[in-house]
């Protein structure tokens, strides 16, 4: 285990064999897994909320799960096992909530052809998961001579009729999102706009391709 969750941590670095507080490695692993699950659930719930969709059970579980890791007085293994199982159920629930939010807002997905090259004119390359932000970008660049390209994980955006209807949503460029910086350095043109991945957020003025 490697726990540096609190100020009691061993030597001011981390508890590695067992916790100064009494936490054992199994509970630590379950807490870690729960935290990663909560991060994922939060991301999906956030995007759904942006579109006006919420689920009180999802919100309640986020509070319950987070609180369970904030206290270091209850290390009941069975309780954390149950919270992890509930995290799995809540993940399915929030995925369905976001699917419904996307489909009811932007239309049921349809198979479409997506160009992979570039077109003459200014261009913006967009990555991330935030379809609402992409919609706003498309709406605000409409008729301005700026082409918008998706990058990797934003590719499915083309399948939503309300997004596909924008003629300046031109195509998809690049590989996976982890390759965004190398892609940009090796010839994928235009500024990059990250929607939904604020760790790598950056922006520039549109560039003519």
In the complex, least distance from residue 40 CB atom to ligand SF4, rounded to whole angstroms: 22
In the complex, least distance from residue 162 CB atom to ligand SF4, rounded to whole angstroms: 47
Residue 20 vs 63, nearer CB to ligand SF4: 20
In the complex, least distance from residue 10 CB atom to ligand SF4, rounded to whole angstroms: 6
With a CB cutoff of 8 Å and minimum separation 6, the contacts of 170 are 115, 118, 119, 123, 147, 148, 149
In the complex, least distance from residue 6 CB atom to ligand SF4, rounded to whole angstroms: 3
The closest residue (CB) to ligand SF4 is: 19
Which pairs from 134-138 meet CB under 8 Å and 24+ separation? 134/163, 134/195, 135/106, 135/162, 135/163, 137/193, 137/195, 138/163, 138/166, 138/168, 138/169
Among residue numbers 2 through 21, which ones bind ligand SF4 (CB under 6 A)? 3-6, 8-9, 15, 19-21
Q: Site mask, ligand SF4, residues 65-94, x = CB under 6 A?
A: -------x----------------------
Establish if 188 lies at the interface with ligand SF4 (CB under 6 A).
no
Distance of alpha carbon 176 from alpha carbon 182, whole angstroms: 10
Contact at 8 Å (CB) between 61 and 92?
Answer: no
In the complex, least distance from residue 70 CB atom to ligand SF4, rounded to whole angstroms: 10
Among residue numbers 19 through 48, which ones bind ligand SF4 (CB under 6 A)? 19-21, 23
Residue 35 vs 114, nearer CB to ligand SF4: 35
Q: Which residues bind ligand SF4 (CB under 6 A)?
A: 3-6, 8-9, 15, 19-21, 23, 72
């Amino acid at each position: 285990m490697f726990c540096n969750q609190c100020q009691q941590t061993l030597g001011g670095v981390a508890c590695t064999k067992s916790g100064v507080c009494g936490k054992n490695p199994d509970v630590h692993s379950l807490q870690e897994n729960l935290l990663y699950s909560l991060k994922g659930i939060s991301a999906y719930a956030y995007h759904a909320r942006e579109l006006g969709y919420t689920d009180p059970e999802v919100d309640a579980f986020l509070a319950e799960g987070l609180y369970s890791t904030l206290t270091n007085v209850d290390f009941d293994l069975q309780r954390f096992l149950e919270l992890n199982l509930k995290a799995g159920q809540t993940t399915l629930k929030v995925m369905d909530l976001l699917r419904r939010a996307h489909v009811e807002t932007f239309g049921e997905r349809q198979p479409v052809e997506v160009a992979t090259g570039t077109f003459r004119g200014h261009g913006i390359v967009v990555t991330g998961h935030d379809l609402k932000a992409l919609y706003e970008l498309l709406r605000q660049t409409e008729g301005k001579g700026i082409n918008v390209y998706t990058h990797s994980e934003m590719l499915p955006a083309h399948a939503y009729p309300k997004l596909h209807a924008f003629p300046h949503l031109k195509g998809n460029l690049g590989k996976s999102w982890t390759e965004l910086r190398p892609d940009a350095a090796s010839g994928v043109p235009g500024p990059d706009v990250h929607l939904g991945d604020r760790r790598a957020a950056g922006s520039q003025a549109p560039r003519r391709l």
